Amino acid sequence: MTAPQKPVLLTGASGNLGRHLARSLGALGWKLRLTDIVPFPDPLPEGASFVKADLNEGLAIARLAEGCGAILHFGGVSVERPFEEVLGPNLRGLYHIYEAARREGARVIFASSNHSIGFHERPEGNQAKLDFDDDFRPDGYYGLAKAYGELMGRMYWDKHGVENVNLRIGSCFPQPIDRRMLSTWLSFGDLARLAERCVLAERTGHAVIWACSNNPASYWGRDHRERIGWAPQDSAEPFRAEVGHITADPVTERYQGGGYPAMEYSRKTPSPRDAFSLDE
């Protein structure tokens, strides 16, 4: 069992994914610094500490990151919300994370999202799957903030050499709960193993990984998982008989982002497959 030599900062530690990572990585003997804007609801893992902090407070984030070798950034607004609610924690807060990483020479593992590409249509038949370098097509303010976060990582890598891994998380739940998740599901176990490899990999550069389990129906293709030595072990396929239903909303069923593209959707006809095309 290998543990990082330096402490690891985990933001968003009180959220569903943060709590799971705290338990899983703490059980491996990692020295974790946990933080969130709300108290940590579970017993602290051995060797872990918790400090309540706001991502908008740059000095607080800088202090938490002192001496850390990696930052698992799972903090911020985690669902679609109005722009003003997303702005502070998800945009300004991410800047504070990257400035702290730059000062400490730390690697950032950013919890991005499939909603950064959510307006890509779902592939059908022999259509090609989406690759990591295909265009961003965010499906709301939340997804837009995730696209911003990945671009910030690219800029900090190009300008400052800050390594970062951007995890385009699909649907991380105990098990798939609808038909779309047969393509997007990420098990808790695969998430923990992915985070572990992101921190322990010798080098990452600027990397993008489709964070989903080994789902035959996945929408997604090439990424940088070989760079960190990760392969998912679980699959949504055993749940197919339980979640095979289709929703009644054609927008939800058309796009990879599921219900997010349908929120406040006002187009009369679907957007084109090529975002820059006039054809619809």
Q: Over the stretch 48-60, which tens digit does the pLDDT of each residue have?
A: 999 999 999 999 9
φ and ψ at residue 246, rounded to 5 degrees: -115, 140
How far apart (Å, rounded) are the C-alpha atoms in residues 195 and 32? Answer: 13
Using alpha carbons, list the distances in angstroms from residue 187 to 172, 213, 237, 239, 277: 6, 6, 12, 12, 37
CB 183 within 8 A of CB 130: no
Cβ neighbours around 218 below 10 Å, total: 21
Averaged pLDDT for residues 16-30: 97
pLDDT in the model for residue 29: 96
How confident is the model over 19-32, as a mean pLDDT?
A: 98
pLDDT confidence of residue 13: 98
Which residues are marked as active site? 142
* For residue 279, pLDDT beyond 90: no
| pLDDT for position 186 | 98
CA distance linking residue 208 with residue 108, whole number of Å: 12
153 and 206 Cβ atoms separated by less than 8 Å: yes
34 pLDDT band, cuts 50/70/90, is very high
- Rounded-to-integer distance, Cα 280 and Cα 270, Å: 7
Whether 183 contacts 219, CB under 8 Å: yes
Report the alpha-carbon distance of residue 35 to residue 139 in Å, rounded: 28
From residue 32, alpha-carbon distances to 8, 10, 84, 147, 279 in Å are: 5, 7, 31, 27, 51
Domain membership flag for residue 267: no
Per the domain annotation, does 274 fall within a domain?
no
CATH of the domain at 246: 3.40.50.720
Residues of the chain with pLDDT > 90, as a percent, come to 90
Is residue 72 in some structural domain? yes
pLDDT of residue 131: 98
71 in any annotated domain: yes
Range of the domain at 22: 8-262
pLDDT, tens digit (0-9, with 9 covering 90-100), for 131-158: 999 999 999 999 999 999 999 999 999 9
The 10s digit of each residue's pLDDT in 241-263 is 998 777 889 999 999 999 999 99
For residue 97, the SS3 value is: helix
Per-residue model confidence (pLDDT) at position 1? 57
pLDDT at residue 39 tops 70? yes
Closest CA to 213 of 171, 242, 150: 171
Q: pLDDT-based confidence at 234, cuts 50/70/90?
A: very high
pTM over 0.75: yes
Instruction: Give alpha helix (H) positions in the chain.
Output: 16-27, 58-65, 83-86, 93-104, 141-160, 181-184, 188-200, 225-228, 250-254, 259-262
Q: How confident is the model at residue 280 (pLDDT cuts 50, 70, 90)?
A: low
57 domain-assigned: yes
Is residue 272 situated within a structural domain? no
Does 169 have pLDDT greater than 60? yes
Residue 115 lies in a domain: yes
For the record, the structure tokens of 197 come out as: 């490899």
Q: What is d(CA 244, CA 237) in angstroms, rounded to the nearest whole number?
A: 11
Q: Count up the domains in the chain and report the number.
A: 1
Q: Round the average pLDDT of the chain to a whole number and report it.
A: 96
pLDDT at 9 over 60: yes
Asked whether the predicted pLDDT for residue 24 surpasses 60, the reply is: yes
Establish if 137 belongs to a structural domain.
yes
What Rg value do the Cα atoms of the chain yield, rounded?
Answer: 18
Q: What is the dihedral of CA 190, 9, 17, 144, to 10 degrees?
A: -100
